[in-house]
Chain A
Amino acid sequence: GESVGLHLPTLSVQEGDNSIINCAYSNSASDYFIWYKQESGKGPQFIIDIRSNMDKRQGQRVTVLLNKTVKHLSLQIAATQPGDSAVYFCALSNDYKLSFGAGTTVTVRA
């Protein structure tokens, strides 16, 4: 099956700084990638996605970068806020089935 891994299980960030969350994958055939945010006690919430024919996509305060050469995906959060504290998952889509990484817990320090 698909293998999806994250580089760091936890990330502590000062409020106002930028956050970078990384994800590595093994299946070079993957062509659609998604980042989810999961707050405590809630289900995952879609943040942003990117297709394999792109290397960068921007949303509101978030940017996803895709490097297919090294099979690496990252999520950048600009000006991190306390509400950004959550677990972040990258997921790969194989047909319509998602394979999730283990998640990075982001803690924002005031």
Chain B
Amino acid sequence: NAGVTQTPKFRILKIGQSMTLQCTQDMNHNYMYWYRQDPGMGLKLIYYSVGAGITDKGEVPNGYNVSRSTTEDFPLRLELAAPSQTSVYFCASSLSGGHGDTQYFGPGTRLTVL
């Protein structure tokens, strides 16, 4: 199993540009998550999904959109990039949402908005 994979690893955007961060997991996990990590800070939840076709907002959803058309994929869309969205983005997945169910993280995408 590759686990959770993310592309691209790095990206520089200009203000106002848009892009999609890709996330794929091959563990047949139902739950998937997007986090952002700002320098020196912990991770903050952007959006999550409890299954295909179901998504919901996390702690910091403004400026982002997600979709979950398949179990495997959970792309994160930035429509109008802003400098405040400069961060490292992590995708994660877990089999279920129950306690004791580990979230597995991808390697991250480092995004810079200039």
The reply to whether A98 and B45 contact each other, CB–CB distance below 8 Å, is: yes
Binds A, one of B14-22, B62-70, B73-81, B92-100: B92-100
- Output the nearest chain B residue to A43 by Cβ-Cβ distance: B105
Output the least CB separation between B22 and chain A (Å). Answer: 15
A82 at the interface (CB under 8 A from B): no
The reply to whether A102 and B108 contact each other, CB–CB distance below 8 Å, is: no
Output the least CB separation between B97 and chain A (Å). Answer: 3
B114 at the interface (CB under 8 A from A): no
- Output the nearest chain A residue to B90 by Cβ-Cβ distance: A43
B54 at the interface (CB under 8 A from A): no
Q: List A contacts of B96 (CB < 8 A).
A: 96
Output the least CB separation between A60 and chain B (Å). Answer: 16
The reply to whether A32 and B42 contact each other, CB–CB distance below 8 Å, is: no
A61 at the interface (CB under 8 A from B): no
Q: List B contacts of A91 (CB < 8 A).
A: 42
B2 at the interface (CB under 8 A from A): no
Chain B interface helix/strand/loop/mixed: loop
Output the least CB separation between A22 and chain B (Å). Answer: 15
Q: Which of A41, A45, A96, A97 contacts B105 (CB 8 A)?
A: A45
CA A95 to CA B92, docked complex, whole Å: 16
CA A96 to CA B56, docked complex, whole Å: 12
CA A17 to CA B105, docked complex, whole Å: 29
- Output the nearest chain B residue to A45 by Cβ-Cβ distance: B105
Assuming the contacts A45-B105, A97-B48, asked whether A102 and B40 have C-beta atoms less than 8 A apart, the reply is yes
Q: Chain A 84-105, CB within 8 Å of chain B: the 1/0 string?
A: 0000010101011111111100
B61 at the interface (CB under 8 A from A): no
Q: Which of A9, A51, A95 contacts B40 (CB 8 A)?
A: A9
The reply to whether B45 and A97 contact each other, CB–CB distance below 8 Å, is: yes
Output the least CB separation between B63 and chain A (Å). Answer: 18
- Output the nearest chain B residue to A4 by Cβ-Cβ distance: B42
The reply to whether A97 and B107 contact each other, CB–CB distance below 8 Å, is: no
